[in-house]
Chain A
């Protein structure tokens, strides 16, 4: 069966160039980047080169690039590394759990958090961030792009607020990596987290950008790796793969790939919302379109369960997602959509389609053939529409 993968915000496949770049570092150049000998030096050179690539990717200095295990570690480091008892933290209610859960845990240590709610459009209003500031506010953390809706948050404005008030600013940029141009100076952030696997790099590797002079305590202590900011033997193949993925991402941000992707996404969503009883989540602010990453659309379907539609589409060869998986693997309604003000039924009946940058017209055609059929079938059986079976 033909399979079309439209869950790029969950993860992406490695591009062949990334696999090739990593290949020598598993067996041939296997050295420990901390070793003195030539084997070590070879590995160290690869890490240094990758660090410079990432510095270009972020528009920062190489010394501000700290390799780690991915987005969750970056988010955790920013929060646990900066906040102390008595501090106040501002974030939003639509963040990833890698932000929300550390914030909840810190309440036990006397760090209070304000969770700023989004508007129905999915946008965070910077005014509400400013209003939440207190004398003891030490950190603001806002995501660049939302994983569920793709909505791009006004980070530059929030960065200016942080600068005005002398508060540290972290951006969870995991879902923006490879989809929009990064410039940490323009963003005005002190910290920024990304993960390689969301942009065709390997899993288990990421970067935390740490602006020089930011007093963030390391989460892991041990050896003097990463200028004592992150202990642990460098994941050399991962770092090399991440840098290659970043290099390719920078290229595709300039060669028209993103425009092509946006056009595919627009065609997909127009095709689906042409069905009765459907609509977009987080795409419009009144009659103004909301800025979004090019690959994501979030669509509600009346009179069906999103969970059943995800499974039905999977069995028809289309991979999408709806809500978030709880510990057992069952689906919970998306906290992002609920925070935007959708009721539970509608949040449950919403699906996210997120396209790979390698998506084709044929992929979209296939999904536009399969989805209407599945929706119609499910609605015919829906207990919302008719009585339950039996």
Chain B
């Protein structure tokens, strides 16, 4: 079997994963010639044309979005250019079940989900590794900016922040298990984005200048409310009635709102009330549908609770630990004391209060560059 020499590259059609494919295919050339040592895989997750025409979603999807036809075309062209076998694997049903549906349900329940972490934790890595192994590839490689190294002293695979901190994707990778990490390569971990584009150019990849994608892949326009409505309509479901009161933190009634899914903690725009000083969403109560708003200063919280935990650099948290915690993708990690608070629960107490701790997002714990672990904010 070619199990240990063959690597499957997860190709999205973007610069990062294409460059990974080019780097590994080139290595393959110089080491063991002949056999197919690099295989390109694209997971087909969502049909971008599926909700077209509903609730103002454009009929023709915009170009250059993850899992769009253009991206599959780009990924295929890269594979052809590199001369590696390339396959598109259909995971649409599973993506809908494990990512899209929970995403919709989370919003309807007044939380703010992160579909990328859901996808990484429950679908992408599992499925890529399974497909890779089925076709004789023991390991996968992705274009994530992260570092993954085995530490013999601890006997564990350690996930670390990458060289290019502006591109750090460890926040979305906290759910990776030791088994998954042991079979995964992140070849871009020690490169900067400009260096990656340079390598792409050097390999003659036509998409070296392709812009980065920022949005949620199945919501090309970025308008999640539009997506929720269109998706529920397609499913023949009613948008649940979650209209309710908008109140000040003092309890004062300010008005009514159309539904809790229109809000996320920390949101300022679109509250539908006027006030001399800016107002922010402080809390969304899924039971009473009450949305509480208040001043920026009131958003600050000293602690959070995390559940559905995954540990990376340690087997499990048994004693309090000093860590830095990141509570959203673009958040500067903040010092906190982390302590066990139950079988699958931690309590984090920040040194300085943090703004807009949002249920549904994840909290990722760092010790220096290392990812200690992470969980979902409740």
Contact = CB atoms under 8 A, between A and B. Distances in A.
A328 B67 CA distance: 9
Interface residues of A, number: 22
A285 B304 CA distance: 64
A315 B133 CA distance: 12
A342 interface: no
Interface stretch (B17-25, B122-130, B355-363): B122-130
A383 B94 CA distance: 13
Interface stretch (A106-114, A187-195, A229-237, A306-314): A306-314
A307 B41 CA distance: 12
Nearest to A331: B90
Contact of B44 (A305, A330, A377): A330
Given A389-B179, A390-B125, A330 B131 contact: no
A377 B126 contact: no
A388 interface: yes
Given A308-B135, A381-B134, A383-B130, A315 B39 contact: yes
A286 interface: no
Interface string A370-381: 000000011001
A332 B90 contact: yes
Contact of B134 (A312, A327, A329, A390): A312
A362 interface: no
Nearest to B133: A381
Contacts of A330: 44, 88-90, 92
Interface in A335-390: 377-378, 381, 383, 388-390
A390 B85 contact: no
A27 interface: no
Nearest to B34: A1
Contact of B88 (A312, A328, A377, A389): A328
A341 B133 CA distance: 31
Interface string B40-70: 0010100000000000000000000000010
Interface string B69-97: 10010001000000001011110100000
Interface of A: 305, 307-309, 311-312, 314-315, 326-332, 377-378, 381, 383, 388-390
22 contacts: A307-B90, A308-B89, A308-B131, A308-B134, A315-B39, A315-B136, A327-B69, A328-B69, A328-B88, A330-B44, A330-B90, A330-B92, A331-B90, A332-B90, A377-B134, A377-B136, A381-B133, A389-B126, A389-B180, A390-B129, A390-B177, A390-B180
Interface of B: 36, 39, 42, 44, 69, 72, 76, 85, 87-90, 92, 125-126, 129-131, 133-136, 177, 179-180
List the 8 closest pairs (A to B, CB-CB), nearest first: A330-B90, A330-B44, A329-B88, A308-B134, A330-B88, A328-B72, A390-B177, A390-B180
